[in-house]
Amino acid sequence: MILEVRAAPPFHKNGYLVGCERTHEAILIDPGDEVGDMLGAVAERDVQVLYILLTHAHIDHISGVAQAKEALDVPVYMHEGDQPLYAHAVEQGAMFGFTVRQPPPVDVFYDMTPVRFGDYEVRIHHTPGHSPGGVCLQVGKKGAAGRELFVGDTLFAGSIGRTDLPGGDYETLMRSITGVIFPLGDDAIVHPGHGSDTTVARERTSNPFVLEYLAGRRA
């Protein structure tokens, strides 16, 4: 599998390019402020991006959608639950003191049908809590349970997503982590929206926020 990640200030949010090594068909995940570098990776890897897939619609994950859509002319996919956030991207940017372009309309709202590119498919899992329409994108070979999880800001190495932003909810987030992401397998690789990769096994057994939550449920 072709995999490229880029991040840029001010949010240092991870954008991902995922491609099929045989066909060179690809997807672009969460183009943000690093979008120029991501488009450079598209050219360097000589891949054909078929879709722009969003894990959620907080401003750092969508600030580059307009530029990516103009450059690639491909459909944008997102969960409908985050449409209110997406529609107010300019206002989101203003909250952080940034001027951002309003992204183009979403072309397709996820209906949980797998998205296919080359020899791979993306299985969509709804993981609300950080935002109402957050999703985990599970990438693997067609017909197989993928081991590559692109989780947005739901789960990080040693941490979890914020729940103090509009639409966030702690209990919902923890259910998404423990009830949706963890059952995808201990050997699954977690590619978060910020920071370094981790694994489901590592976060299930050592993430302090997860351990505290699980201990509270057992009490």
SS3 of residue 89 by DSSP: helix
Based on the structure, what is the number of domains in the chain?
A: 1
CB 118 within 8 A of CB 23: yes
∠ CA 72-67-189, nearest 5°, is 75
Helices (H) and strands (E) in the chain, counts: 8, 14
Given a cut of 80, whether residue 219 has pLDDT beyond it is no
CATH assignment of the domain containing 110? 3.60.15.10
In angstroms, rounded to a whole number, what is the distance separating the alpha carbons of residues 102 and 120? 31
In angstroms, rounded to a whole number, what is the distance separating the alpha carbons of residues 104 and 13? 20
In angstroms, rounded to a whole number, what is the distance separating the alpha carbons of residues 136 and 126? 6
pLDDT, tens digit, for every residue of 125-184?
999 999 999 999 999 999 998 999 999 999 999 999 999 988 899 999 999 999 999 999
pLDDT, tens digit, for every residue of 185-201?
999 999 999 999 999 99
pLDDT of residue 2: 97
In whole angstroms, what separates CA 58 from the centre of its chain?
Answer: 11
> Residue 66's domain spans which residues?
2-218
